[in-house]
Amino acid sequence: MAPVHVDRATRASRIFVFVAVPALAALIALPWWSGPGNMRLVAEMAYYLALAQLWNLLAGYAGLVSVGQQAFVGLGAYAFYYMTGALNVNIYLALILAGPFAGLMSIPVSFAVFRLRGAYFAVGTWVVSEVFALAASLIGVLGAGSGLSLTPAIVRQIAPDRAGRDTIVYLMSLGVSLLVFAIVYLLLRSRHGLALTAIRDSEPASASLGVNTFRTKLTIYIATAACTGLVGALIFLQKLRLSPEAGFSINDWTVVVIFMVVIGGIGTIEGPFIGMLVYIVLRELLADFGTSYLILMGAIAVAVMLKAPGGIWGWVVQRYGLQLFPVGRRLVVAPSDGPPVLESSRRPRQEGSDSSPA
Amino acid sequence: MSLLRTHGLSAFYGDFQALFGIDLSVEDGETVAIIGANGAGKTTFLRAIAGALETAPEMIEFDGRRVGHSTPHEMVRLGIAMVPEGRKLFPSLSVEENLLLGGHCGRAGPWSLQRVYKLFPMLDELRRLPAPALSGGQQQMAAIGRALMSNPRLLLCDELSLGLAPVVIRAIYDCLGAIVAEGTTVVIVEQDINRALDASAHFYCFQEGRLALSAPTKNFNRTAITAAYFGL
Amino acid sequence: MEWLNILIQGGLLGGIYALFAIGLSLSFGIMRLVNIAHGDLIVLSAYVALVVVENTGLDPISSLVIVVPMMFALGYALQRGLLNFTLSGGLLPPLLVTFGISVIIQNSLLQGFGAYTHRLQQGAIETASLPIPGGIAVGVYPLLVFAVAVLAIAGLQLFFYRTRLGRAFRAVSDDADTAELMGIDNRKLFALALGIAMIFTALAGVLFAIRTNFDPAAGPIRLILAFEAVIIGGLGSLWGTLLGGMVLGIAQAVGAALSPTWQILAGHLAFLIILIVRPSGLFPRTRD
């Protein structure tokens, strides 16, 4: 038999690395060539990107369309505030623990919501988020309706001066975003990722092949919750104030995130990047018109879902076959008497082509 | 002029091609059988005729008109009715309601609720029962009756004998005889080759989405049929 | 008699919750579409009524004569022009499109009317009450709303089981593919279904807005309440939804008796408990 090896990279991805690395270096050096305004903006882009990657993993790959991820943003934030405040935990330790706390809370949540499927699951996750928000508004030690603040003493644990704090928190945002992205990317490249794609393509088929669909989905749900909690803690570290409305806001943490992923390209790794950029651009452009950018984004998302369900990146993939972050595996056969030949290729499938013989 | 004629009929389920250029014709008043193994494309073909699959307009010609792009309900209005594989009666509806539903489109013709009850007296007794309460054979009769209520010119019967006892199958095919005598054109899809050939004047054999054999049933060599059936 | 009071007040709440839920139920039962924008459409109806009331001097309940046909037409157009195209693509398109519509409605209302709260004024009937033995006062208005809910459901049952069109709806709900093979035009039927759903949505919107303050962001909680009533009651039965709404209302009343701020949370908790313990609901009809 001719020797065979599995090729992971694509040509576009190799080129992309040459572009991405310098760009990343520039972003890391941002505090030294730009000011706090830009740092705040890039930090915001970083954590929105993280939330988008996570929602995409959950909905685009595991098929769990959650409209309640804001629950874990709030849980992570509240855990962080409570630990640094009432429990006097070191600020870095509290940040590290916030994620696992949210992940832990997602386990009892899953008992309830995993009873539901499809759109019912979505609304169920929403209800759960409302429960957490209401509970937070009723519990005295969590500040009840008015919430909590980070005292200067707590915040100074990061650095004594404002500039130092801004820089460190900015770098942490970049770091967390990269970390989340790395986790998502490595997960999708691994066997688990293959299982997920199989589940997404056809749950019954993959179950019949031995993929434990329930356990895979549950693992993804818990992992996503934990990462979302970490991001939530980081977000509210920067905001310095936390209230039930802000921490569990569906508009801030879910609506925008969903639009980003849908417009950018659901079920692709590159999609959330693009969607996040579209969101930032639209928001800045329409800043003077209240929440009209949300109306426009909503309309675009609806149009995308109807006409191009794969989003912007999905369209690019279909048209040009590009893949910047390859997760597929291509079988390359090297016949004994010639150059390697491409046997078959696997590319991430777009949602929406539901095809099965009756 | 044939009542139904297909020209290079191809059909897809997503990326998967189920039919490859079928050319077939059915004369007015004729009974035609389509036979073939599982997965040969027989049901797909019927569904394509009924309008349930996307096909190009010129691929299907009914009564001289190109109808390949029509939706199922438009086809019913034109006079094509389906007795689906597995009966597919509506479980929430009673027997009578199922029959009345068949007449929803309101096509004029000889068939009415009373006529259907005359053809299938058993249904009259069971009219108020929910459809799932009926036996397989009774459900099959109800499904046929439901299709008749739309006064079709062409009746498509998918696997009438599926899951039924021989004595029941015989009774159903006897009723089919009465329907044909009214002048209705019938296409039957059957895995039971003998039953199909006994009831039809002309037959087509499908094999993996392609037409393998087409001939009048009278005196046809059964060995040749078996060869075509299995693609030998 | 505290408990009787809780049961009555809570039970009557079931009326408005059932009215919230009817549109959602119809949409899911016939088209298998969970309309995320459902709550926002309830609130939209309230705003439409507000505009009608302000411009015609009609009282809110009379304004229904204008609001209901308008919302029927909106529902028909929405399904025919937009939602019908989402039905064949799997799980995501209907969910995300209705989600997008929800956001669009909320923010359009916000841009148009501002974030202020409004309430429709119907007059004396809002506070009238009927004393019953035991020293309990039953509100006339909640009683009226409950009666409307019962009539609505009874009317729908009659429609589904005694009319030709109702029979077609039931067939489509059973098996849309086969229904089409039998000559039913699904596209038109779905559009009619949403139109009819919107009749009850508009009714619910106006009736709730008479007693409760509303603002552009009031939609989501209505969707959740409708959803909870349907799940608690069990899928497939409108009477079950009414009972589910009553259970929800009573759970809320119990919570409110403990502390007013606990009302909504108590309802959510009851919903989650029932979901974990009896996922198919309390009074399900077998099919999904």
Chain segment C200-234, per-residue pLDDT in tens: 999 999 999 998 999 999 999 999 999 999 999 98
Test the A interface: residue of C96, C98, C178, C278 with most A CBs within 10 Å: C96
Q: Give residue B40's pLDDT.
A: 87
Distance CA C100, CA A50 (A): 21
For the ranges A220-229, B131-140, B220-229, the lowest mean pLDDT is seen at B220-229
Query: So what's the pLDDT on residue B156?
Result: 96
Please, where are the H alpha helices in chain A?
11-28, 30-33, 36-56, 70-84, 91-113, 118-138, 152-155, 162-189, 191-201, 203-208, 213-239, 244-247, 250, 256-264, 270-285, 292-307, 311-320
**Cα–Cα dist A192/A178, whole Å:** 20
Interchain CB contact of B16 with A (< 8 Å): yes
Give me the phi and psi of C52, to 5 degrees please: -60, -45
CB contact residues (below 8 A), chain A span 112-171, against chain C: 112, 115-116, 118-120, 122-124, 126-128, 130-131, 134-135, 137-138
Q: Number of CB pairs < 8 Å for A and C?
A: 129
Residue B232 in contact with partner chain A when CB distance is under 8 A: no
Q: Which residues, 6+ apart, have CB-to-CB distance to C275 below 8 Å?
A: A112, A115, A116, A124, C231
Interface B-C, measured as beta-carbon pairs within 8 A, has a size of: 67
Other CB atoms within 10 A of residue B100 CB: 18
Distance CA A185, CA C61 (A): 56
Q: Give me the mean pLDDT over the B123-149 stretch.
A: 94
- Local structure of residue A348 (DSSP, 8 states): P
Whether the Cβ atoms of residue B3 and residue B62 lie closer than 8 Å to each other: yes
Q: Alpha-carbon distance B204 to B210, whole Å?
A: 10
Quote the pLDDT of residue A333: 58
Distance between CA atoms of C142 and C208, rounded to whole angstroms? 10
Cα dist from C258 to A141, A142, A186, B22, C261, whole Å: 20, 21, 50, 73, 9
* pLDDT of C285 strictly over 90: no
Mutation target vs B (from C157, C165, C182, C186; most B CBs, 10 A cutoff): C182
Which of the listed ranges B221-230, C25-34, C136-145, C157-166 does the model predict with the highest average pLDDT? Answer: C157-166
d(CA B215, CA B219): 10
pLDDT score recorded for residue A354 = 38
Minimal Cβ distance to C180: which of B73, B93, B97 = B73
Mean pLDDT of chain C: 92
- In whole angstroms, what is the distance from residue C221 CA to residue C242 CA? 18
Which among C191, C199, C196 is positioned nearest to C163, based on CA atoms?
C196
Residue among C24, C33, C40, C186 at smallest CA distance from C103: C40
C124 vs A337, more confident: C124
C165-to-C76, C78, C184, C253 alpha-carbon distances in Å: 16, 20, 10, 39
Q: Give CA A68 to chain center in angstroms.
A: 13
**Paired strand residues for A148:** A242
Q: What does the buried/exposed string (b/e) look like for A184-194 if buried means 16 or more CB atoms within 10 Å of the residue's CB?
A: bbebbbeebbb
Kindly give, in sequence order, each residue whose CB lies less than 8 Å from that of residue C80, ignoring residues fewer than 6 positions away. Answer: C187, C188, C190, C191
Alpha carbon distance C91, A351 (integer Å):
9
pLDDT of the residue at A281: 92
Residue B114 CB-density burial (10 A; 0-12 exposed, 13-18 middle, 19+ buried): exposed
**Mind giving me the DSSP string for A5-50?**
EEE---HHHHHHHHHHHHHHHHHHTHHHHS-HHHHHHHHHHHHHHH
What's the rounded Cα separation, in Å, for the pair C188 and C177? 14
* Residue A112 one-letter amino acid: A
CA distance B209 to B42: 8
Pairwise CA distance, residues C278 & C197, whole Å: 27
Q: How far apart are CA A59 and CA A267, in angstroms?
A: 8
A12 — contact with chain C (CB < 8 Å)?
no
Q: Do A355 and B13 touch (CB under 8 A)?
A: yes
Q: Give me the helix-helix angle, A213-239 and A162-189, nearest 10°.
A: 170
At residue C122, does pLDDT exceed 70? yes
Nearest CB neighbour to C276, from listed A67, A115, A138: A115
pLDDT in tens, B58-92: 999 999 899 989 999 999 999 999 999 999 999 99
Note the pLDDT of residue A3.
63
Residue that the structure tokens 């009937």 belong to: C125
A291: enclosing H helix or E strand: none
- Residue C254, token pair as written in the block: 């119990």
Distance of CA B67 to the CA centre of its chain: 18
Instruction: Look at A105-114, A341-350, C106-115, C252-261 and tell me which has the smallest mean pLDDT.
Output: A341-350
Distance CA C60, CA C55 (A): 12
Judging contacts by C-beta atoms under 8 Å, the chain B residues touching residue C237 are none
Pair C161, B130: CB distance under 8 Å: no
pLDDT score recorded for residue C4: 87
Token reading at B81: 């009715």
B91 and C178 within 8 Å at the Cβ level: the answer is: no
Residues of A in contact with B51 (CB under 8 A): none
- Test B105 with C183 for CB contact under 8 angstroms: yes
Give the gap in angstroms from C-alpha A218 to the nearest C-alpha of chain C: 16
Q: Which of residues 155-184 of B touch A (CB under 8 A)?
A: none
Q: Which of A63, A255, A291 is facing C111, going by the closest CB pair?
A: A291
Q: Is residue A243 within 8 Å of A146, Cβ to Cβ?
A: yes
Which residues of chain A have a CB within 8 Å of the CB of C86? 305-306
Angle at C6 between CA C253 and CA C2, to 5 degrees: 130
The alpha carbon of residue B224 is apart from the nearest alpha carbon of chain C, in Å, by: 35
Tokens of A12: 């576009």
Q: Cβ contact (<8 Å) for C275 and A115?
A: yes
Q: Could you identify the residue written with the tokens 């039913």?
A: C184
> A27 — contact with chain C (CB < 8 Å)?
no
C124 burial (CB, 10 Å; 0-12 / 13-18 / 19+) is exposed
ipTM of the complex: 0.92
Is A74 within 8 Å of A68 (Cβ atoms)? Answer: no
- 3-state SS, one letter per residue, for chain C: CHHHHHHHHHHHHHHHHHHHHHHHHHHHHHHCCCCCCHHHHHHHHHHHHHHHHHHHCCCHHHHHHHHHHHHHHHHHHHHHHCHHHHCCCCCHHHHHHHHHHHHHHHHHHHHHHCCCCECCCCCHHHCCEEEECCCEEEEHHHHHHHHHHHHHHHHHHHHHHHCHHHHHHHHHHHCHHHHHHCCCCHHHHHHHHHHHHHHHHHHHHHHHHHHCCECHHHHHHHHHHHHHHHHHHCCCCHHHHHHHHHHHHHHHHHHHHHCHHHHHHHHHHHHHHHHHHCCCCCCCCCCC
Length in residues, chain C: 288
Contact: C167, B93; criterion CB under 8 Å:
yes
To the nearest whole Å, the CA of B164 is away from the closest chain A CA by 22
And the tokens for B206? 């499908």
Cβ(B157)–Cβ(B144) under 8 Å? yes
Report d(CA A341, CA A7) in Å as an integer.
11
Answer whether A355 sits within 8 Å of B44, measured CB to CB: no
Task: Tell me which of B13, B38, B189 to substitute to probe the interface with A (most A C-beta atoms closer than 10 Å).
Answer: B13
| pLDDT of residue C288 exceeding 60 | no
Residue type, C113: F
Is there a contact between B160 and B87 (Cβ–Cβ < 8 Å)?
no
Instruction: Give B105's contacts in chain C (Cβ within 8 Å).
Output: 182-184
CA distance to A183, A307, A320, C146, C215, per residue, from A315 (Å): 25, 10, 8, 51, 39
Neighbouring chains to C with at least 3 Cβ pairs closer than 8 Å: A, B
Per the CB < 8 Å rule, is B15 touching A354?
no
Strand pairing report for A330-333 and A4-7: antiparallel
pLDDT in single tens digits along all 358 residues of chain A: 556 666 666 777 777 778 888 888 888 888 888 888 888 999 999 999 999 999 999 998 888 999 999 999 999 999 999 999 989 999 999 999 999 999 999 999 998 899 888 888 999 999 999 999 999 999 988 888 888 998 888 888 888 888 888 899 999 999 999 999 998 888 888 777 777 777 777 777 777 777 777 888 899 999 999 999 999 999 999 999 999 999 999 989 999 999 999 999 988 888 999 999 999 999 988 888 878 889 999 999 999 999 888 899 988 888 877 667 666 666 665 555 555 444 433 333 333 333 333 3
In the DSSP assignment, the letter for residue A166 is: H
Q: Does A353 touch chain B (CB under 8 A)?
A: yes
CB contact under 8 A, A353 and B18: no
Q: Which of A16-30, C16-30, C52-66, C267-281 has the lowest mean pLDDT?
A: A16-30
